[in-house]
Structure 1
Amino acid sequence: MQTEGPENGQAVLRVENVVKTFESAAGTVAALRGVDISIKKGEFVAIVGPSGSGKSTLLNMIGALDKPTSGKVYINGIDIFSLSDSEIATMRNHLIGFIFQSYNLINRTTVLKNVALPGVISEMSGDERSRRALKLLQVLGIEDKAGFKPSSLSGGQQQRVAIARSLMNDPAIILADEPTGNLDTKTGSEVFEMLRMMSSKFRRTIVMVTHNPELAESTDRAIYIRDGVVEKEVVNN
């Protein structure tokens, strides 16, 4: 599977008329009801909405963690759900980094091995994994925690580990689901500034789900979702 990066200004992510329904005891529930969005390379975009609005479901579609009931998702011009499951997994591992509210770290192993994990999946050599993981921890200011277990770290430190892990395979796109949700205001602001730096300095495309209007207003653009549809889009100064 080969992908070609978009030219500057072209959409790296495109969602076309995506519908996602779930079956429940109460009947069919529509989580997404025909969503259309387009995101450019290097753009920092917030997806905002109340609980149950469909914002995390949309992030799962973009990250190929779940398939839409109908509609298409394009990454670098490729219809990702036209690929085989193995091709989707390869694309996800090489092109997309994930950051979650609950960190999703493995507490039985070290911080260094947590960061290096995506490199194991992509069959990076052991020496290269360790070198790259240590460098990322250094950039994020927690290289002294490399030998610790994640559970011994503060929430902010654990989220830094999660950010380092998301960058391990040098992805073009970072998907962050409420990355500051479990953090105090000061630490949350620090984590947010790291994400903004990745977008502005390193040209990473960042898509962040948040319910925090202040954070949303500090991104390049905010997409507001309600009841499974895009309510409005706001370009921030």
Structure 2
Amino acid sequence: VYSFKDNSHLYIALEFASGGEMFTHLRSVGKYPEDQTRFYAAQVTLAFEYLHYLNILYRDLKPENILFSADGYLKITDFGFAKVVRDRTYTLCGTPEYIAPEIILSRGYNKSVDYWALGVLIYEMAAGFPPFYADQPIQIYEKIVQGKFKFPSHFSAELKDLIRNLLQTDLTKRYGNLKNGTKDIKYQKWFATTNWIAIFEKRVKPVHVPKADRDHFEKYDEKPLSNSATELYPSEFENF
């Protein structure tokens, strides 16, 4: 939200997402029903649509990096791997279960990797586990490159179709990476009941509104901060 400093410390103030991580909540409930999965997937799709408009690749989508606000809507956090890319980039980064095949094969990649990760996230939200998993990262990578996975029996036909088109190893066929951009995702049958403008304006009632537990604030023992009489890091923060 903002930042400031004194002679001894640098302070960064962040928005408080009181609902915690999606990872923790998803593990506690096991999996999400499709309507809840769709609600969250729509928000991530809109976030990627905006980031890619700015030529920013996110590259680290996973439940651990998605937070719940007090109103039940999502916030994507941890932009440590985010990068402005106007053509291609080649860095190997991300979480093994969510890495796209073109990253593993070092062929260069663009925004397509975020839509692959979106497919993995949608699968994991609806199933309770990712489509590609194994004991060792190299085994996960082999499965990803092959692009072979199985659907749980409770997945609807429309959900399966969307995931197949997102977890498409052929970049010329992957949703989000085609000439229609995110329209291929937003107008796919699984999203037929989604009001995208209402989601954007937060007019859709969330399926889950987190109950904020503020007990740890009461128990936290604040330590007094000492401040130096002179600036300790003048060169490091010369232009701050």
Select the structure with the greater relative contact order (CA < 8 A; seq sep ≥ 6): 1
- Structure 2-normalised TM-score? 0.27
